[in-house]
Structure 1
């Protein structure tokens, strides 16, 4: 057994105990290689130049490992290299007590000893130009061991024709100010800022399948890339790279085809999290919405082995639901509440529920409207059908599911909403799927003021995905469908936890890596739109008829709103600390822009993107301070 003991700093020690190295282990190799092969030490925390060992044996003159105190906050595989607009983590010596204390005598002669307020100032000096940049001063709590520094728009990585620049970062911990300033500790370390290449069609995809290509361009062009596939089945081709050339992937020292879809340690950047892929040439790649990695020797699928039926569903591909399933498939803490036609009756008069919706809690009587007997069943199957490699793969199969019939033979809409609110557990979130259109729903079960009262009181724990309306069709006609959404969907302008959902259709299909993808999309001609449209989601999705075993395309905004509701359930399952307004804000900020740049009256804020939204929610859940350096409206998505 091999044991390496070295001092770290002044008062910490590291004991590195080896694995079973066997009798034939080769000691005639680099110290880094020895550590990697014989210990569980995180090798990405070690740099070769931190060793200074004798020639005869790499262990004869073992010297201390240097522990960095100023590191990249992203949690990727490189501690001293930081992407431009990234963040730093400063590790403070919490053992150094504040020597500047005051003694106060209280009213009852009690003695109180208080430390003076402690502050930390940070500056960065460009080692090429000599320019010094003030990175701010922060107040810290007693015993605080670290702090974060936002570098957004503060440090430029471009230097002398290169996309990388070196800075000396200085940290001073002190009390007081001016002539009364008392320094507790100060230190400095060098970091390298890198400008990531993320421009052009080779780095940003759309809602269709896209192919990206990575090539080693040399360090002068930067060693960082950001690839954002967004919707569709997207492939990154790594020219001239074998899978064995991977130096780290999401915290692991290599990439394994069998476990690549596991989250690992996601890297923080731009208010969200990315897959981080390090290559042996030193390049770092950040990935979002990329489903496949094509190396020279092997193709690796990053999507989980969830349900083969989803491969043929264009709705899951276009919204990047497969990528979101890497994080979760729903939670019982989030309940999908269907405000639709519910179920019709089977031969015995009971609700006709197909097995893939067997987890439903049905709250009302069966519907008696023959023309819409499958409507509610189809909507629930789109958003919540069980994954069993048959019929349909629901968007959020492991979320709770409650069904209400608000049509013929059922209950009034306001009564259904009130009942769901009354039945929720204190920690449960409710995602309402509203398959309703037309102005009459405002007063279905009460007055319009009473409906607004339900909306007013539920923002902390509920989100409403409401059909924008099919006003341009033949069945439901709305003379204002080109300028406004329909019915209670209009409440999206008054309440931030309500979304009006338009219907996006595919104009063509192709198969990429066995997955059905749209070749182009457009707003369905019948779909309501206008300046009160929030988002669009797929229509014409596979759904299950209530008789079971039969799959039929489900159309209209009636299909779009359960698709979006399913995505909302996934995002909320990832971060239950969000309220309904924050949930909608994340889905808007991560949406794929369609049509005119920015918000437009045809697509609203764009096409909902499940993976982009869930990555933002995950980042906020894991490290809210770091993720919040970017708002929901400006993070990379």
Structure 2
């Protein structure tokens, strides 16, 4: 095998990351643009009269999102006026812009503080000097043989390593609604479930975000390479909801939630957000929850005190980010939608080109909660999604003001305590 060219690898990898970061910066900047280039509608008429209704308004192209929900592309610069016109027509039960989402990663940290390694290199040691052990029931800490494990400080900080003495997870399916995934990554091979019903779906991850999120949740573990996933045996069902520029839309997320349900997904991880309220998205999330799906999302990276969606919808677990001293990160959005926090600084995980990287943002705090939820269900499969959410909240390590607060929510994720509560509940149920 040819010798590994460290300099060339790092240079090309950083260039790719810079390009991806520029795309994401553009997506964030356009999130709240006053004008819109597409709109979501729910017609009042039956499907057999839809064409006539659309054509009467000068709409010749539209795309079905799900049953009786459609997205209409609009001419540039005409969005706001068209939304008002369609609302005034009386032909639709609902008209709203097809809002854009931004990926919740910290771009400036991603390429200035990044630690890049190929699968052939040893990763760095994590600086854990400032970390205090989380209070928990005494349990044996499991140490896998993955070469990058010592760089994954967040696994110890959230007591995932102690939870592993009880369970390393089941084959439960987690939906990752993101930028796609590198299913050929050595730490993700065999962990990705494709959508076999659709040959048109391209899962290629050109940005890396979805690959990074997936590795945190369920990377191949104890395989003497790379990193450890939180739920070792869990499978990933990726749905690419972003376009080539890194933008996602309400319509693509709504459609992806339906697709995830059709594949038997129990947990949906959404590491993107918007500050724009969407009734269509709210209804889609509520439907997913009614179908038994637990939705985990980011609190957002705006650094402001504002509601971000879908985290602000009822029943969704909104996750903020803390640093290695358990202080809230400056970028982490605060507000009533924050339910939990998890480490979000320098999260070592899988990345593009079979590599590994340290990434930051609420995007990488939220998947830790999704992974913990998967561990909970592995010991208590009869729990419903509301019960799993309740366990995650009740087991959290309180930070900030006593009880729930808008900065830390209910507190820091405590995976071991959550698994122990779930195990007890399962035992109590089977005893009767």
Report the TM-score, using the length of structure 1 for normalisation: 0.43
Which residue of structure 1 lines up, in the alignment, with residue 348 of structure 2? 542
Partner secondary structure for residue 522 of structure 1: coil
Partner secondary structure for residue 591 of structure 1: coil
Q: 1:489 aligns with which of 292, 295, 311?
A: 311
Does 1:341 pair with 2:214? Answer: no
Which residue of structure 2 lines up, in the alignment, with residue 423 of structure 1? 263
Does 1:393 pair with 2:233? Answer: no
Aligned length: 289
Distance 2:150 2:281 in 1: 44
> Closer, same or farther in 2 for the Cα pair 1:403/1:601, shift >3 Å?
same
Contact 2:203–2:239 (Cα < 8 Å) also in 1: no
Query: What does the per-residue CA deviation read over 1:132-171, in whole Å, with 9 as the maximum and x for residues that have no partner?
Result: xxxxxxxxxxxxxxxxxxxxxxxxxxxxxxxxxxxxxxxx
Which residue of structure 2 lines up, in the alignment, with residue 365 of structure 1? 202
Distance 1:501 1:362 in 2: 27
Which residue of structure 2 lines up, in the alignment, with residue 566 of structure 1? 371
Distance 1:454 1:303 in 2: 36
Distance 2:312 2:165 in 1: 34
Which residue of structure 2 lines up, in the alignment, with residue 611 of structure 1? 416
> Closer, same or farther in 2 for the Cα pair 1:600/1:418, shift >3 Å?
same
Distance 1:412 1:570 in 2: 28
Distance 1:564 1:450 in 2: 22
Q: Which runs of 5+ in 1 are unaligned?
A: 1-206, 211-227, 231-287, 292-301, 344-350, 473-480, 507-519, 628-637
Distance 2:156 2:374 in 1: 17
Which runs of structure 1 show a deviation greater than 6 angstroms over 4 or more consecutive aligned residues?
Answer: none
- Give, in angstroms, the shift of residue 577 of structure 1: 1.0
Q: 1:592 aligns with which of 397, 402, 412?
A: 397
Distance 2:294 2:423 in 1: 18
Does 1:326 pair with 2:326? Answer: no
Which residue of structure 2 lines up, in the alignment, with residue 406 of structure 1? 241
> Closer, same or farther in 2 for the Cα pair 1:352/1:573, shift >3 Å?
closer
Distance 1:547 1:605 in 2: 37
Contact 1:439–1:488 (Cα < 8 Å) also in 2: no
Partner secondary structure for residue 433 of structure 1: strand
Distance 1:432 1:307 in 2: 28
- Give, in angstroms, the shift of residue 573 of structure 1: 1.3
Partner secondary structure for residue 260 of structure 2: helix
- Give, in angstroms, the shift of residue 501 of structure 1: 0.5
Distance 1:625 1:362 in 2: 35
Distance 1:457 1:415 in 2: 11
Q: 1:382 aligns with which of 200, 210, 216?
A: 216
Which residue of structure 2 lines up, in the alignment, with residue 153 of structure 1? none
What are the equivalent positions in structure 2 for 1:116-265 lying under 5 Å apart? Answer: 208-210=131-133, 229-230=135-136
- Give, in angstroms, the shift of residue 485 of structure 1: 3.5
Distance 1:342 1:543 in 2: 15
Q: 1:505 aligns with which of 320, 323, 336?
A: 323
Contact 2:275–2:307 (Cα < 8 Å) also in 1: no
Larger RCO: 1 or 2 (CA < 8 Å, sep 6+): 2
Which residue of structure 2 lines up, in the alignment, with residue 580 of structure 1? 385
Does 1:317 pair with 2:149? Answer: no
Distance 1:416 1:623 in 2: 36
Distance 2:414 2:285 in 1: 28
> Closer, same or farther in 2 for the Cα pair 1:609/1:626, shift >3 Å?
farther
- Give, in angstroms, the shift of residue 625 of structure 1: 8.8
> Closer, same or farther in 2 for the Cα pair 1:623/1:406, shift >3 Å?
same
Which residue of structure 2 lines up, in the alignment, with residue 356 of structure 1? 187
Which residue of structure 2 lines up, in the alignment, with residue 149 of structure 1? none
Distance 1:457 1:561 in 2: 18
Contact 2:149–2:226 (Cα < 8 Å) also in 1: no
- Give, in angstroms, the shift of residue 229 of structure 1: 2.9
Partner secondary structure for residue 412 of structure 1: helix
Which residue of structure 1 lines up, in the alignment, with residue 126 of structure 2? none
Distance 2:208 2:389 in 1: 29
Distance 2:237 2:288 in 1: 20
Report the TM-score, using the length of structure 2 for normalisation: 0.62
Per mean C-alpha deviation after superposition, the further-off stretch among 304-313 and 589-598 is 304-313
Partner secondary structure for residue 322 of structure 1: helix
Contact 1:465–1:565 (Cα < 8 Å) also in 2: yes
Distance 2:431 2:330 in 1: 42
Q: CA RMSD in A?
A: 2.4
What are the equivalent positions in structure 2 for 1:28-107 lying under 5 Å apart? Answer: none
Contact 1:335–1:399 (Cα < 8 Å) also in 2: yes
Contact 1:460–1:580 (Cα < 8 Å) also in 2: no
Distance 1:402 1:420 in 2: 7
Distance 1:331 1:625 in 2: 19
What are the equivalent positions in structure 2 for 1:463-478 lying under 5 Å apart? Answer: 463-472=294-303
- Higher strand fraction (1 or 2): 1
Contact 1:337–1:403 (Cα < 8 Å) also in 2: yes
> Closer, same or farther in 2 for the Cα pair 1:352/1:587, shift >3 Å?
closer
- Give, in angstroms, the shift of residue 579 of structure 1: 0.8
Contact 2:347–2:359 (Cα < 8 Å) also in 1: yes
Distance 2:281 2:320 in 1: 26
- Give, in angstroms, the shift of residue 306 of structure 1: 3.1
> Closer, same or farther in 2 for the Cα pair 1:485/1:310, shift >3 Å?
farther
Contact 2:289–2:295 (Cα < 8 Å) also in 1: no
Query: What does the per-residue CA deviation read over 1:521-548, in whole Å, with 9 as the maximum and x for residues that have no partner?
Result: 2111011111221110111210111211
Distance 1:526 1:501 in 2: 13
